[in-house]
């Protein structure tokens, strides 16, 4: 008996956030639209609408019949926002994800700026993932708009190398949601991920093992998921630009220059080898909240403001933990200074917690270990070493008395903030 050949799909929704917005605002179809800008973008849009059409309740986010003129343009945007997604029409102008909005405003001032609406995206994310698992149950979540799917044992999953099943999934998602996606099918996750980029948007690409040298080797190393800007730069320094050139190096040479583990992985990846399974369930390792300030804040001069933000972040993390049913025992902070340098500090507690007061107190201790001469642009709070609340609920793990005692100490609010800043 022989095992069926592995067929793994990578499915990537096309310009997901922007496409969801276009479902709600069809009048924007074909126009350059960028999503981002955080709270400010939302306030701008709502403020305009309240002035223009004061009779309606604009917090409802129902703008399907709103004239184009009422949508805010990128031109003149000031602030720290970045682009989360851009429509294909906007990408023509060279704007793209993670770009600062002020830069985007220069490249494409006429672009329409929409605020992000995660609740909507999560809603459509759940919808398309349910459609997929109804057809092919072995699916790995890779975020709101991406998944891996194991086609191997799905009836029809081998037909035309997976194209037939990919087409069925693509059509089912479109019929239900009106959204398009791109799919790559290959012998493993590494190649499937690359394949899903070959034909975008709304494409399907099939890669077979024997196409390694003809299809994969001419590609830039950067196309390998896991090779980022730094590794790419270093590879270039050694005259390695394509995956084929990477594959030609000796494993020992790669290990010598990139470390034992990374070197071995680079060699395997360049040869299209990847045995990782499609993982249908995973547990979070950490939960965090962070925020970039509207303006850089000084630890002494802006003490009150920072203290309030710090406390709010701790409360948010605690609420997230409680809502999701986790407790953790490693409390950490992250700071980013005005020169963009970041530092982290963390401390591991004896007992698990999801208590805002204890998190605040411990995070405060961490903060005391950081020199605060420079102004800050970002502050974050993280809780790691997570376990399910139920699994930690025995007396040896959570000491309720300790939690209550330390919580009351820290929740004095004003007093503890005084010490911290």
Partner DNA sequence: TCTGGGGTCCTAGGACCC
Site residues for DNA per CB under 7 A:
38, 79-82, 84, 97-98, 100, 102-103, 106, 142-146, 193, 224-232, 259-262, 284-292, 320, 330, 332, 339-340, 342-348, 366, 369, 377-378, 380, 382, 384-385
Q: In the complex with DNA, which residue's Cβ is closer, 46 or 144?
A: 144
Q: How far is the CB of 131 from DNA (least distance, A)?
A: 18
Query: Cα(248)–Cα(118) distance, rounded to whole angstroms?
Result: 44
Q: How far is the CB of 53 from DNA (least distance, A)?
A: 30
Q: In the complex with DNA, which residue's Cβ is closer, 66 or 227?
A: 227
Structure tokens at 40: 């400010």
Q: In the complex with DNA, which residue's Cβ is closer, 17 or 63?
A: 17
Nearest alpha-carbon partner for 129 in 116, 117, 146, 154? 146
CB contact at 8 A, 154 and 169: no
Q: In the complex with DNA, which residue's Cβ is closer, 153 or 197?
A: 197
Distances in Å between the Cα of 134 and the Cα atoms of 14, 137, 168, 169, 184 are 21, 6, 12, 10, 19
Structure tokens at 154: 């799905």
Query: Cα(234)–Cα(240) distance, rounded to whole angstroms?
Result: 9
Q: In the complex with DNA, which residue's Cβ is closer, 306 or 366?
A: 366
Pairing between β-strand 376-384 and β-strand 342-353 as defined by DSSP bridges: unpaired
Burial class of residue 15 in the structure, from the number of CB atoms within 10 Å of its CB (0-12 exposed, 13-18 middle, 19+ buried): buried
Q: How far is the CB of 38 from DNA (least distance, A)?
A: 6
Distance of CA 251 to the CA centre of its chain: 32
Cis? peptide before 201, omega within 30° of 0: yes
Provide the CB-side half-sphere exposure for 174 (13 A, CA).
13
Query: Cα(183)–Cα(14) distance, rounded to whole angstroms?
Result: 10
Q: How far is the CB of 103 from DNA (least distance, A)?
A: 4
Q: In the complex with DNA, which residue's Cβ is closer, 31 or 144?
A: 144
Provide the CB-side half-sphere exposure for 58 (13 A, CA).
18
Catalytic residues: 146
Query: Cα(332)–Cα(176) distance, rounded to whole angstroms?
Result: 42
Structure tokens at 243: 């995956």
Q: In the complex with DNA, which residue's Cβ is closer, 227 or 247?
A: 227
Using CA atoms in the order 357, 358, 361, 367, what is the torsion angle rounded to 10 degrees?
-120
Q: How far is the CB of 170 from DNA (least distance, A)?
A: 18
Q: How far is the CB of 84 from DNA (least distance, A)?
A: 6
3-state secondary structure of 318: helix
Q: In the complex with DNA, which residue's Cβ is closer, 63 or 227?
A: 227
Q: How far is the CB of 239 from DNA (least distance, A)?
A: 17
Query: Cα(363)–Cα(353) distance, rounded to whole angstroms?
Result: 13
| Helix pair 303-324, 356-368: axis angle to 10 deg | 130
Q: How far is the CB of 410 from DNA (least distance, A)?
A: 18
* Phi and psi angles of residue 388, each rounded to the nearest 5 degrees, phi first: -60, 140
Burial class of residue 239 in the structure, from the number of CB atoms within 10 Å of its CB (0-12 exposed, 13-18 middle, 19+ buried): exposed
């Amino acid at each position: 008996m022989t095992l069926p050949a592995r067929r793994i799909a990578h499915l990537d929704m096309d310009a997901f956030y922007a496409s969801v917005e276009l479902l709600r605002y069809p009048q924007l179809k074909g126009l350059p639209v960028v999503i981002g800008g955080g709270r400010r973008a939302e306030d701008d849009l709502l403020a305009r609408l309240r002035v223009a059409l004061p009779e309606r309740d604009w917090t409802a986010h129902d703008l399907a019949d709103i004239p184009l003129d009422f949508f805010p343009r990128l031109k003149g945007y000031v602030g720290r926002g970045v682009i989360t997604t851009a429509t294909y029409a906007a990408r023509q102008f060279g704007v793209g994800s993670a770009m600062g909005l002020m830069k985007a405003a220069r490249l494409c001032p006429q672009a329409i700026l929409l605020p992000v609406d995660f609740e909507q995206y999560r809603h459509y994310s759940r919808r398309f993932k349910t459609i997929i698992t109804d057809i092919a149950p072995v699916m790995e979540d890779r975020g709101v708009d991406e998944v891996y799917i194991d086609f191997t044992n799905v009836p029809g999953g081998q037909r035309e190398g997976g194209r037939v099943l990919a087409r069925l999934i693509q059509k089912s998602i479109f019929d239900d949601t009106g959204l398009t996606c791109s799919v790559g099918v290959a012998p493993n996750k590494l190649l499937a991920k690359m394949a899903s980029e070959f034909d975008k948007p709304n494409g399907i690409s099939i890669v077979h093992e024997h196409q390694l040298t003809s299809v994969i080797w001419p590609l830039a190393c950067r196309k390998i998921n896991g090779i980022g800007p730094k590794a790419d730069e270093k590879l270039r320094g050694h005259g390695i630009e394509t995956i084929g050139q990477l594959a030609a190096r000796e494993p020992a040479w790669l290990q010598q220059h990139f470390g034992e583990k990374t070197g071995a992985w680079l060699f395997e990846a360049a040869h299209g080898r990847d045995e990782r399974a499609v993982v249908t369930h995973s547990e979070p390792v950490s939960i965090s909240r962070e925020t970039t300030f509207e303006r850089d804040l000084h630890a002494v001069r802006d003490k009150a403001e920072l203290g309030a933000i710090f406390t709010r972040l701790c409360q948010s993390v605690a609420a997230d933990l409680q809502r999701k049913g986790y407790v953790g025992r490693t409390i950490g902070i992250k700071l980013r200074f005005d020169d963009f340098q970041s530092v982290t500090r963390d401390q591991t507690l004896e007992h698990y917690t999801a208590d805002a007061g204890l998190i605040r107190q411990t995070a405060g201790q961490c903060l005391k270990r950081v020199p605060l001469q420079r102004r800050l642009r970002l502050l974050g709070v993280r809780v790691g070493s997570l376990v399910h609340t139920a699994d930690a609920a025995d007396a040896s793990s959570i000491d309720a008395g300790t939690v209550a005692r330390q919580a009351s100490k820290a929740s004095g609010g004003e007093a503890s903030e005084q010490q911290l800043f």
